[in-house]
Amino acid sequence: MAKKNSTSADLDALLRDPADPDEAAALVTALIDEIRKHDVAYHQKDAPSIADADYDKLKRRLQTLERDYPETLREDSPSLAVGAAPAQGFRKVRHARPMLSLNNAFSDEDVADFAQSVRSFLKEFKDDPERKLDFIAEAKIDGLSCSLTYENGELVLAATRGDGLEGEDVTANARHVADIPQKLKGKGWPAKLEVRGEVYMEHAAFFALNERRAEAGLPLFVNPRNTAAGSLRQLDPNETKNRPVRFFGYALGETSEPIADTQHGIREKLHKWGLELNEPSKVTSDLGELLEFYREIGERRASLPYDIDGVVYKVDRLDLQRRLGDVQRAPRWAVAHKFPAERATTVLEKIDIQVGRTGALTPVAHLTPVNVGGVMVARATLHNADEIERKDIREGDTVIVQRAGDVIPQVVEVVLEKRPKGSKPYAFPTICPCKLKAPTHREEGEAVTRCTGELACPFQQVERLRHFASRDALDIEGLGDTTVRQFFEEGFLKLPADIFRLKHKRDAIIALHGWKDVSVDKLLAAIEARRGAPLDRFLTALGIRYVGETNARKLALHYGDYPTWRQAMADALADDSEARKELEGVFVADSKTAKGVVAKELIAFFEEPHNVQALDDVANEVKPSPVERPATDSPVAGKTVVFTGTLEKMTRPEAKARAEQLGAKVAGSVSKKTDYVVAGAEAGSKLKAATELGVAVLSEDEWLTLIGDG
């Protein structure tokens, strides 16, 4: 069915040449919105709203902009996918157990450190260095994480990883993916079985697909990984059926009963039940053999039919995995040993300065776009003034750029023999590039240079707003960098609370270029949906130094709800108060952040009246919901526990992790709110404080009996 004609004025506006990168980014966003609108009309409603030739012009213009401004290329771009997203989007699915990411290792020393950290966490292996500890090594597939849930052997749900806690229901599409059995083979599977693995595309299939697209005059896909990801999120499941996507299943999520005692046992069972495995793999307790496996796989990498970007090492015994648990958003019992970073040579055209939400000045290299490991790179971080001076990086230099995994591209070194004549060392600015032209300042002992304009600096204001709405914070869909900047410049946004008052600016927004009724209403609906965002996301969104995702979650779990946290922070302003001690105790000494630093930054935040005013303002608009605690009926759920002295049956980190798994709050100091102090040998001041305050004191054996581990 042919598409109808659109107005030439609208089309000309979308096909215009941008004046600068910011306008290009805005234009890309407008093009994507327009193309998606027509995709919905054509694919979902069978009611085309634009002529075929004009539609093709929009697609070609988008592809050209993405080529000329590589930083604008998005994984969800219509140039990388066919069809439209569902009219209401994919149904959200909350994972029964979080789908965690992995920490990375980039050297043999990193792997050795990982293995030693596992032994140090588990007391019996710490005390006996010769005790055998098996690891399994598996090829790390470069694909899209996916979860499959089977009930009585039948596939009932497929979900993407999403943010690890919540993904998207892609069941209809997954039914068309090769290697995903609709019914498990054989017998012996549990009533409920969640299989986790990776959706990917083989090289030969990817190239054949691109050949067909080239013959049809369609834009080519960038790489197999993005293509596989886009294929799983097609509106029409038949589109997925036409894509040569495959699946490896190699891990478990939630199951109604155990199926094995080891990771290699899980793999054997899954293969027996009809799932393909990412082979080869190797089980060994010898670190040298693990590293040799890594090198062998690296040598075979180019000949493998699919992309891999490293090797994953996992503790093989499942009972040890459970004891090791998780740290932040990654398991303690696994690590990804990444292959060496991809590198390329290009020209550094100029150095620009970006100002972050804390006033930090970060130098950014603008590069002649270059393909690095399948990704077009046009910018790279230069870190700070010391790094520029150390590497003697200058504008006009030919430089080597590398990109390791998902790490931001960086300039590794300068090719000095290609340095232009007359080049001069880069002078780091002493004045912030903001409108205030405020002086910059660098604290003694710090590498970061900051703008002294603080919240009056428009760059910091924009960055704080951008951070507030970002995916890791409140996750407001559609309120990205370009939109935040546009609304700020229009005077619609100044403080976070203004985001939730944008509904009063609806008509003014529609009057802006690139905005229409549908896109504005979609944005306002996304904003309204975040008025009850989880407390940890809200705390992350505030942008307080050192209060990122991990520490925000610690605070949210400890204090429970927003009113309690808000009052506790106010009470903690008093020196030597119980609230101050409690706050400091939330961040125990084994944290990577120095003890007391997080509490110090929180107190400093609340000592500034403007911060408190802005916080209370946004709290009138947002009512954060309590964070879901791990489901548990243990006798210590919700209790505050302090460990002191030397424990005999477990290390202190394992004791802390086990208590948190059972829903307890582990503090680093004793207060009136402490429920239990678990005292090992040579307990000191904390035991004395517990006695003076009348807090229940348990021996290690009494603690283990209480939690059912005795």
Residues annotated as part of the active site: 140
Length of the chain: 710
Query: How far is Cα 314 from Cα 321, in angstroms, rounded to an integer?
Result: 8
* Cβ contact 695:639 at 8 Å: no
Round to whole Å and give the CA distance between 450 and 296: 46
CA-CA distances (angstroms) from residue 653 to 220, 465, 590, 594? 50, 37, 8, 16
Task: Decide: 62 and 18 in contact? Cβ < 8 Å.
Answer: no
Cβ pair 314, 321 in contact under 8 A: yes
Q: Considering only the C-alpha atoms of the chain, give the largest distance between any 2 of them, rounded to a whole number of Å.
A: 83
Rounded to whole angstroms, how far apart are CA atoms 641 and 585? 10
Q: What angle do CA 472, 473, 477 make, to 5 degrees?
A: 85
Beta-bridged to residue 376, according to DSSP, are 371
What are the tokens at 199? 């959706």
- Rounded to whole angstroms, the Cα distance separating 29 from 480 reads 10
The answer for residues whose C-beta is within 8 angstroms of residue 45's C-beta and 6 or more apart is none
Angle, helices 562-571/578-586, rounded to nearest 10 degrees: 120
Name, in order, each residue with C-beta under 8 angstroms of 197's C-beta and a sequence gap of 6 or more: 145, 146, 148, 247, 248, 249, 250, 251, 275, 278
CA distance 387 to 376: 24
Give, in order, the Cα–Cα distances in Å from 58 to each of 1, 11, 373, 470.
18, 8, 28, 28
Q: Whole-angstrom Cα distance, residue 486 to residue 5?
A: 30
- Distance between CA atoms of residues 159 and 145, nearest Å: 9
| SS (HEC) of 154-220 | EEEEEEECCCCCEEEECHHHHCCCCCCCCECCCCCCCCEEEEEEEEEECHHHHHHHHHHHHHCCCCC
Tell me the C-alpha distance between 159 and 170, whole Å: 5
Place of tokens 């006695």: 691
